[in-house]
């Protein structure tokens, strides 16, 4: 779907660039897709809110009955403030982490959240903090796939979860400390190919079925997130319909192995929000280098967004489609799109982790043109930073009737200095 050029220009004039544009209709469609594949009784979807923690998005999830997977004390607090229920009956906000830091333990205890522990020593930390109650264990299943190696979360090289041979000891330590293991969980990778995901989820359900006899108090099993989004061919997304049948079959298998009813959970993040978010940026200049003995000359479109806004290309070599607003269909030439940061890696057109540049065939932009970096709704604003003291860009939410709302303003120098202090210790 093409962006509405008039609306984008109007919003850019109002809030300045760069800014984030969220299309409410797309988020709602993606929520509907997930609700459909989890519509079998006993199957529950969560939103891994790390992908896009805006209150507006969290409220959409709450209204649709989607539960939350939070990874920090503050993420959990954001979810609670947005209207998600506290408590563990049912555990609407699940706290999944490998390390408790800052206010995490405090938030878990005060709000009675279900802790999903990813490291054996966390049982001791929970006990010391005075926690007694249900816990979930995040298992490293020993296999998995991500869209890049750093997003693969299963296997001997993964820092996530507890290795299967340690599970019995963790269960015993938990029981001794007055805790009950009520959920087993695994997240086998973020954004793999759909076929890999399907195969891995089925395998995971089998492995969990084999573990069930060791966990007599289990009430739920979570297969994690990881439903991919097709960034390179955004108009041709793979149908996730087969997952409905898969989840129904996995749950049936698990219930049969347990001899009782179990809840089956999933917790995608990216799938709900990736296509709904666009980063809009202005071209400030177009310049070039010439071919010499060191390499080929390039044409650079210098834009005002950088990896402080969208880090995925710099961090993983990720691809985001780029549109020159209002110039769709014009003749194209290879262009490198680069940002304002004092880093040569501040380039959005990259081909992978090891290569710096990959020029993109784009209509030749001119200073003043707006560019749209598409499919940036997941891990976009969420991973933005204050590097170079630039300040996070504003987020704008657009309803299907074209009404727009500013949901977070541009950060100012005041915001950045707010935490600075001069306290004698």
255 flagged as catalytic: no
Stretches 83-91, 183-191, 295-303, 333-341: which one binds ligand LLP (CB under 6 A)? 183-191
Cis peptide before 163 (omega within 30 of 0): no
Question: Of the candidates 415, 423, 360, which has an alpha carbon nearest to the alpha carbon of residue 386?
Answer: 415
Closer residue to ligand LLP, CB minimum distance, 198 or 364: 198
**Could you tell me the two tokens for 279?**
């980063």
**Could you say whether residue 270 binds ligand LLP (CB under 6 A)?**
yes
51 binds ligand LLP, rule: CB under 6 A: yes
Nearest residue (CB) to ligand LLP, 134 versus 365: 134
Question: Using H for helix, E for strand and C for coil, what is the string for 142-183?
Answer: CCCCCCCHHHCCCCCCCCCCECHHHHHHHHHHHHHCCEEEEE
What token pair was written down for 356? 């710096």
Asked whether 221 and 201 are in contact (CB, 8 A), the reply is no
Tokens for 380, please give them. 């976009």
Residues 285-314 that bind ligand LLP (CB under 6 A): 312
C-beta closer to ligand LLP: residue 311 or 371:
311
- The C-alpha atoms of residue 57 and residue 52 are separated, in whole angstroms, by 7
Q: Decide if residue 374 touches ligand LLP (CB under 6 A).
A: no
Q: How many residues bind ligand LLP (CB under 6 A)?
A: 20
Q: Which is nearer to ligand LLP, 189 or 365 (CB)?
A: 189
Segment near ligand LLP (CB under 6 A); pick from 12-20, 245-253, 265-273, 413-421: 265-273
Q: Which of 23, 60, 69, 346 binds ligand LLP (CB under 6 A)?
A: 69
Which one of 8, 123, 151, 325 is in contact with ligand LLP (CB under 6 A)? 151
Paired with 138 in beta bridges are: 185
Strands (E), 85-242: 93-97, 114-117, 133-138, 179-185, 220-222
CA torsion angle 378 380 383 387 (round to 10): 180
Q: Which of the residues 199 through 218 are near ligand LLP (CB under 6 A)?
A: none
Q: Which residues bind ligand LLP (CB under 6 A)?
A: 48, 51, 69, 96, 151, 187, 190-191, 224-227, 267-271, 312, 378-379
Give catalytic residues, as residue numbers: 342
């Amino acid at each position: 779907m093409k962006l509405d050029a008039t609306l984008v220009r109007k919003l850019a004039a109002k809030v300045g660039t760069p800014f984030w544009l969220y299309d409410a209709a797309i988020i709602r469609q993606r929520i509907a897709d997930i609700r459909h594949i989890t519509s079998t009784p006993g199957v529950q979807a969560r939103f891994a809110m790390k992908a896009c923690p805006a209150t507006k998005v969290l409220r959409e999830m709450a209204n649709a009955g989607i539960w939350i997977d939070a990874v920090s004390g503050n993420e959990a607090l954001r979810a609670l403030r947005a209207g998600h229920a506290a408590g563990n009956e049912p555990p609407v906000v699940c706290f999944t982490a490998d390390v408790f830091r800052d206010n995490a333990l405090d938030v878990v205890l005060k709000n009675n959240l279900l802790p999903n522990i990813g490291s054996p020593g966390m049982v001791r930390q929970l006990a010391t903090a005075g926690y007694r109650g249900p816990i979930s264990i995040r298992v490293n299943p020993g296999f998995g796939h991500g869209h890049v190696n750093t997003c693969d979360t299963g296997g001997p090289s993964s820092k996530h979860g507890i290795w299967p041979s340690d599970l019995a000891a963790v269960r015993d330590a938990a029981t001794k400390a007055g805790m009950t293991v009520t959920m087993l969980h695994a997240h086998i990778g973020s954004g793999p190919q759909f076929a890999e995901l399907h195969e891995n989820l089925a395998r995971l359900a089998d492995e969990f079925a084999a573990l069930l006899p060791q966990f007599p108090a289990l009430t739920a099993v979570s297969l994690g997130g990881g439903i991919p989004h097709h960034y390179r061919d955004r108009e041709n997304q793979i149908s996730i319909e087969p997952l409905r049948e898969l989840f129904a079959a996995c749950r049936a298998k698990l219930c049969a192995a347990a001899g009782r009813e179990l809840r089956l959970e999933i917790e995608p993040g990216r799938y709900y929000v990736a296509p709904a978010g666009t980063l809009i940026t202005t071209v400030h200049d177009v310049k070039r280098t010439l071919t010499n003995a060191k390499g080929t000359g390039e044409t650079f479109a210098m834009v005002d967004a950088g990896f402080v806004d969208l880090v995925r290309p710099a961090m993983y070599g990720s691809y985001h489609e780029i549109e020159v607003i209002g110039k769709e269909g014009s003749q194209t030439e290879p262009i490198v799109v680069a940002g304002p940061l004092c880093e040569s890696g501040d380039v959005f057109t990259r081909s992978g982790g090891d290569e710096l540049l990959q020029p993109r065939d784009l209509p030749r932009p001119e200073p003043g043109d707006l560019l749209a970096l598409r499919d940036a709704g997941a891990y976009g604003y969420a991973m933005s930073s204050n590097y170079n003291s630039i300040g996070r860009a504003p987020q704008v939410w657009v309803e299907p009737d074209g009404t727009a709302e500013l949901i977070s303003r541009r950060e100012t120098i005041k915001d950045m200095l707010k935490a600075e202090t001069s306290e004698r210790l």
